[in-house]
Structure 1
């Protein structure tokens, strides 16, 4: 795959590099270009990975809802790498693949429940600049999920915004993960940025 990154990937070396590559191959089946890009600042890489591992232990939000929210952020902001990754993870974690594939066009899809649609709308509203979250949105989600889950959902969406925007700024795009697991996307957002076009060809 041709590199799109604005910063060339560094050679990932040393014991920590070996561990990072081994972990990547175990989880993703490959070493993504993003690892080499972030290798230029290993403290940032380590802290982001540490935060991600911590978040994996949160348990107030259903894994499907958490994945749908992350994918909604990825599609809305335009991070093809993150969308590609979460298609792959949905498959790898035995989540609802049919719904995962429909997230980018969720407003026009009939596969989502009312609660799932409210989560997706909230994820998009949190990804706007400025945010378009309303009192009604939060109140309805509290009724659906409870206060702890809404707090966790907000944190997950916030972290996803950090990741998506960093990847886009650095030019990190899709790596073909979704096609590698036999889960090519069925849809991209109707107004998705050009960076998502690669996914429609997966």
Structure 2
């Protein structure tokens, strides 16, 4: 239960009801962060536009790397809602959910490639407070991913930091999009 109540469908204006309908159709339920965001309709609309634009624009990196760093950032922040939702997205992309069990030991795990380990270390460093990113990390990732890929990676990690901190501040916890390894939401 969030620290402030979610806007119910009964309380929602027509625009919010439309957002709820679209998210319920896509995910099987209204994500609780959206129902909390609904208290501020302009920010709800801005956030929805932003998320859609990021989804359309972030296509430089392989989906597996994008989803992995977002998931790892959520884990590091301790955002159980983001971990729950991220696991569902990873499963829906057809990616290996089992390797997420080794996310805490990615440095020594054989489940992750060299570039994934570099990106995960970068996500850790970006999520540290204060940020501990080094010149060496940026240079190596730039060499491997190019400027465009590095900007995308950095943006996605920063965005997940924003999402996770928003959810944590409001006490939003996992919503049950996954149940263990079995996703409760049907594949799109």
| TM-score w.r.t. length of structure 1 | 0.82
Partner of 1:64: 64
Question: 1:8 and 2:5 equivalent?
Answer: yes
C-alpha distance in 2, partners of 1:132/1:32?
A: 32
C-alpha distance in 2, partners of 1:180/1:16?
A: 34
**4+ aligned runs moved over 4 Å, structure 1:** none
Partner of 1:28: 27
Partner of 1:53: 52
Partner of 1:40: 39
After TM superposition, the structure 1 stretch with the greater mean CA deviation from structure 2, 75-84 or 13-22, is 13-22
Q: How far 1:18 moved relative to its partner?
A: 2.4
C-alpha distance in 2, partners of 1:69/1:181?
A: 19
| Residues paired across the two proteins, number | 181
Partner of 2:125: 125
> Contact 2:16–2:41 (CA<8 Å) still a contact in 1?
no
C-alpha distance in 2, partners of 1:119/1:96?
A: 17
Q: How far 1:32 moved relative to its partner?
A: 2.5
After superposition, residues 163-182 of structure 1 pair within 5 angstroms as 163-179=163-179, 182=182
Consecutive unaligned residues of structure 1, counting only runs of 5 or more, are: 185-202
Partner of 2:109: 109
C-alpha distance in 2, partners of 1:61/1:34?
A: 26
RMSD: 1.9
C-alpha distance in 2, partners of 1:135/1:82?
A: 29
Question: 1:160 and 2:160 equivalent?
Answer: yes
C-alpha distance in 2, partners of 1:163/1:47?
A: 14
Q: How far 1:181 moved relative to its partner?
A: 7.3
Q: How far 1:102 moved relative to its partner?
A: 3.5
C-alpha distance in 2, partners of 1:137/1:180?
A: 34
Partner of 1:150: 150
